[in-house]
Amino acid sequence: MIKFFLMVNKQGQTRLSRYYEHVEINKRTMLEAEVIKNCLSRSKDQCSFVEYKDFKLVYRQYAALFVVVGINETENEMAVYELIHNFVEVLDKYFSRVIMFNLDRVHIILDEMVLNGCIVETNRNRILAPLLVLDKVAES
């Protein structure tokens, strides 16, 4: 099961966070800081799977952006690694350039892919269908 999903820049600033288990706000800040420090300090030659406390971190770097997912021990690391790549491909397909001004749309995409910490959809066209409908409604 996925515990949390983070998008972080190289400066360590969280750009998007979604938690699938209850974590108090002050603990989220500490958790994010530790997780970010842990992932950003690793070299590109090191594995993208990290044991951390009572869960695992799976992360990928895309240019200046890191996507970090916290999972429990029963989740398949490679499946989550591919989920991250699929998520970035969907973002790339939907947005032409800047995504940070459209975080509501990023959340919708993530919600289409992950529900209650479980991967529910990976098909790009089905993930983007609700957004395309929203875009058509907004245009009219």
At CA 21, angle to CA 121 and CA 131, rounded to 5? 35
Res 139: pLDDT: 87
CATH number at residue 64: 3.30.450.60
> What is the overall mean pLDDT for the chain?
92
Q: What would the two tokens of residue 46 be? A: 């090191």
pTM of the model: 0.91
List the domain range (segments joined by +) for residue 107. 2-139
pLDDT higher for 97 or 63? 63
- Where do runs of H (alpha helix) occur along the chain? 25-40, 77-94, 103-113, 124-139
Res 61: pLDDT: 92
d(CA 73, CA 49): 12
Arithmetic mean of pLDDT, 122-128: 95
Q: Say yes or no to pLDDT of 3 above 90.
A: yes
Arithmetic mean of pLDDT, 78-96: 93
Domain count, the chain: 1
Res 116: pLDDT: 95
Arithmetic mean of pLDDT, 16-40: 93
Q: Say yes or no to pLDDT of 100 above 90.
A: no
- Quote the DSSP letter at residue 20: S
Res 55: pLDDT: 92
Answer whether 70's CB lies under 8 Å from 55's CB. yes
